[in-house]
A and B are shown apart, each in its own frame.
Chain A
Amino acid sequence: MKIRVQSETFDLGAEVDAMRAGRTDIGAIASFVGLARDLNEGSGVAAMTLEHYPGMTEKALAALVDEANSRWTLLDVSVIHRVGRLLPGDPIVLVAVAGSHRGEAFAACEFIMDFLKTRAPFWKKEETSDGERWVEARASDDAAAERWR
């Protein structure tokens, strides 16, 4: 398991290669990469800054991965989330899940992302043409997490 909160970027290919290096038991790796967009709520977004709660954030991400491991038989999980100032097109978050078969890899990847959105203490502030604004939490994210109950 790898959990990292970092300001530097990441490389999906390198992370997947590291996950499968030296192993022949992995049959499937599902991955998700979230990107910073140039548009949100109808306004152009020039940049965003991600804040987190050092200590609690890493703990909350580890708890999500533990919960995924208790629901599915997984061979490895990586979660990387960036903090600091990001520009449109920059990668924000990576979740990669290795399993014996695709079913558990797909499901656990989506599960971890859905709960990361509602439980991991990160906050986005956008720089728009109308000034800076904190992004508000969405009801649709709560609904996405709720369906796993």
Chain B
Amino acid sequence: MKLHVLYFARLRERFGLAEETLEFDGTTAADLVAYLQARGGVWAEELDGSRAFRVAVNQDIVRLDAVLPEHAEVAIFPPVTGG
């Protein structure tokens, strides 16, 4: 499936990437995280579970077992710190 993936804040800076379009074979948000983690380096460091991150699908926070719809906008970001 085709996905539009966005990164924010510390993750955007560490990955050196604000957004990308992916052709992806998996099903869930966890599959996407595993796919990105397999890139190694900073991707593995940030997404291996040692640091907290959140995943949103079509602008709603989801759990990692959420199924990704075709053409979803997926965002990965650190826990929020506004207010």
Q: Do A and B bind each other?
A: yes
B44 to chain A, nearest CB (A): 19
- The one of B6, B9, B75, B83 in contact with A125, judged by C-beta atoms closer than 8 angstroms, is B9
Q: For the complex, what is the distance from the CA of A55 to the CA of B58, rounded to whole Å? A: 10
Q: How far is the CA of A137 from the CA of B9 in the complex (A)?
A: 13
Taking chain A's interface residues, is the majority helix, strand, or loop, or is none over half, making it mixed?
A: mixed
Assess the A53–B82 pair: CB atoms within 8 A: no
A59 to B77, CA, bound (A): 17
Contact A93/B78 with A134-B10, A137-B52 known, Cβ cut-off 8 Å = no
Q: Which of B50-83 contact A (CB under 8 A)?
A: 52, 56, 59-61, 75, 77-83
Distance in Å from the Cβ of A96 to the closest Cβ of chain B? 15
In the complex, A34 has a CB within 8 A of chain B = yes
Answer whether residue A29 sits at the interface, using C-beta atoms and an 8 A cutoff. Answer: no
Q: Hey, which chain B residues are within 8 Å of A116, CB to CB?
A: 82-83
Q: Using a CB-CB cutoff of 8 Å, which residues 5-29 of chain A contact chain B?
A: none
CA distance A60 to B82 in the complex (A): 12
Q: Which residues of A contact B43 (CB under 8 A)?
A: none
- Give the residue name and chain of the A residue nearest to B10 (CB): A134
C-alpha spacing A33/B56, complex, angstroms: 28
Query: B35 near A: Cβ within 8 Å?
Result: no
Instruction: Give the docked Cα–Cα distance between A124 and B83 (Å).
Output: 9
Q: Does A106 contact B (CB under 8 A)?
A: no
**In this complex, what residue of B is CB-closest to A134?**
B10
Contacts of B81 in A (CB 8 A): 122-124, 134-137
Query: Which residue of A has the minimal Cβ distance to B54?
Result: A121
Question: Which single member of B10, B77, B79, B83 contacts A53 (CB below 8 Å)?
Answer: B77
Is the beta-carbon distance between A123 and B83 smaller than 8 angstroms?
Answer: no
B13 and chain A: residue at smallest CB distance: A134
Q: Is the CB of B8 within 8 A of A113?
A: no
Max count, chain B CB within 10 A of own CB: residue among A34, A53, A121? A121
Q: List 6 A-B contacts (CB under 8 A).
A: A120-B80, A121-B77, A121-B80, A121-B82, A123-B10, A137-B80
Chain B contacts to A: CB under 8 angstroms: 6, 8-10, 52, 56, 59-61, 75, 77-83
